[in-house]
Structure 1
Amino acid sequence: MKRLDKIVSFVGENKMVADIGSDHGITAIKIYEEKNPKKVIATDISAPSLQKLKDKLKHSGYEIETIVTDGLKNLPMDIEEAVISGMGANLIVNILRGNLDLSRSLEKIITSPNNSLEYYRRWLMDNGFTIINDEKIEDEGVLYDVVVIKYTGENTSYNSEYEYMYGKDNLANKNPYTIKEIEQEIARNHGILEKFSGIDSARITDRIEELKVKNQKLEELLCELKN
């Protein structure tokens, strides 16, 4: 599982780590097996989901603590790193807000939002979180983003809207999966334009022009990334 491998690769060795929204505990178990942690805490708002992890742990002998809680709430302040993945950006933001004292004290937070990346990056930078690593990957034909953050208290900003949309690191490194994402977006826009063809409506005409301008800019960006 490439996405899981990438997420766990960012976890530090010999750290106290919390896996937030752990569900069946796949990430927590991988951290325990590969990162020699001081301790792993697996949390979830769903007691039945965590019970499935508890059942696994009975047979494995792994010492992973399970806590039923909402996000980072009611967790010990000596946690050093956290993983928050497999959920939408809005939910991750709410989790960070839910215990700002802990969010701000963590050495590192490895996140993997599955939507609204532009909003997520803007929120982080407007609220004192620094993006340490930002990488797009592909796993079984699906594109994912892994965004590693740390609270520094510095409100920063990017230079272009595309850095918020696709990630500054991905553009700087000419990430092949970011190139693929932009190609897919251009293709989707072309598909919409074809559907709009022949429709006589002022609103549709405006939308057609908007999509044409957007695709032209994306084509220019794509050209830069491929050269």
Structure 2
Amino acid sequence: MTKLGKRLEAIASFVDSEAVVADVGADHGKLLLYLAEQGKISLGYGIENKSGPYQILQSNLNECISARLVPIFQDGISVLSDDVDTLVLAGLGGETIISILRNGLDNLANVKTIITDSHTSIGEVRRYLTQIGYSIGDEKLVSDKNKFYEIIRFVKRKEKHSYSDFEYRHGPIIIKSPEFKNHAKRLIHKINILLKKDLPDNIKAKMIEEKEVLKRYEN
């Protein structure tokens, strides 16, 4: 049986039963293998654009007989099967995630759920997805191997949903979670270190403002 770390476990928990999943940047396919072994998905597409990882992905998915898992060698979602209802974009930078979605926007008609795990520009990812018709259905702040990850489940909505700038940066659901208290303390510590550096006054002013808001959550 495939074992997952806390980060991938959190992503897997956001996938609906009987979903048809496309995992972009699937690497070696551990997430899809786990979902298939758990009987949680009806079909999975593993998308990879690097030759080495794709060959391993292809080998791993072809060995799984418990569900249909299809390896695909391509960039992003330039082509996406019409039956895909769930898209996973994990382990990628925020700018890359936005670029993938923007370039494949016409292929999202049937995609009801998008799950992201962005390592950078998380606020921009939240903002962009709300602009293209999705809202935040759930979020988890996950600590895995001394790193923190924000796993976000976006769901398609007819009505547009907007959030405050602070909610875009840190997550409207995450900031209400017990885990955010310690996370806020860590963020304040990072800001204090940065404030000692020679930075432009306007940048420092924004950091101080952010620090004051974060202080409301650390107690």
Write the distance in 2 (CA, Å) between the matches of 1:39 and 1:192: 46
**1:135-180 CA distance string (max 9 Å, x none):** 221111101011111233533321x321111111112x2341x333
Q: Name the aligned partner's letter for residue 185 of structure 1.
A: L
- The counterpart of 1:124, out of the listed 124, 129, 145, is 129
2:106 aligns to what? Answer: 101
| Mapped contact 1:174–1:225 kept (Cα < 8 A) | no
2:153 aligns to what? Answer: 148
5+ residue gaps, structure 2, are none
**1:186-221 CA distance string (max 9 Å, x none):** 21222233455xxxxxxx5x63x8636733652453
Q: State yes or no: 1:183 paired with 2:185.
A: yes
SS at structure 2 position matched to 1:38: strand
State the 1:120 CA deviation. 1.5
Write the distance in 2 (CA, Å) between the matches of 1:46 and 1:162: 36
5+ residue gaps, structure 1, are 197-203
SS at structure 2 position matched to 1:77: coil
TM-score, scaled relative to structure 1: 0.83
Q: RMSD in angstroms over aligned alpha carbons? A: 2.3
Q: Name the aligned partner's letter for residue 186 of structure 1.
A: I
The percentage of aligned residue pairs carrying the same residue is 26
| Mapped contact 1:135–1:167 kept (Cα < 8 A) | no
Number of corresponding residues: 214
TM-score, scaled relative to structure 2: 0.85
1:199 aligns to what? Answer: none
Write the distance in 2 (CA, Å) between the matches of 1:8 and 1:182: 26
SS at structure 2 position matched to 1:76: coil
Q: State yes or no: 1:211 paired with 2:198.
A: no
Write the distance in 1 (CA, Å) between the matches of 2:203 and 2:89: 35
Q: State yes or no: 1:19 paired with 2:23.
A: yes
SS at structure 2 position matched to 1:84: strand
- Greater share of helix: 1
SS at structure 1 position matched to 2:217: helix
| Mapped contact 1:12–1:35 kept (Cα < 8 A) | no
Write the distance in 2 (CA, Å) between the matches of 1:56 and 1:106: 25
In 2 relative to 1, CA 220–39 (structure 1 residues): closer, same or farther, beyond 3 Å? closer
1:221 aligns to what? Answer: 214
Q: How does 1:1-227 map to 2 (within 5 A)?
A: 1-61=5-65, 63-158=68-163, 160-171=164-175, 173-176=176-179, 178-195=180-197, 207=201, 211=204, 214-215=207-208, 217-222=210-215, 224-227=216-219
Q: Name the aligned partner's letter for residue 168 of structure 1.
A: P
State the 1:122 CA deviation. 1.6
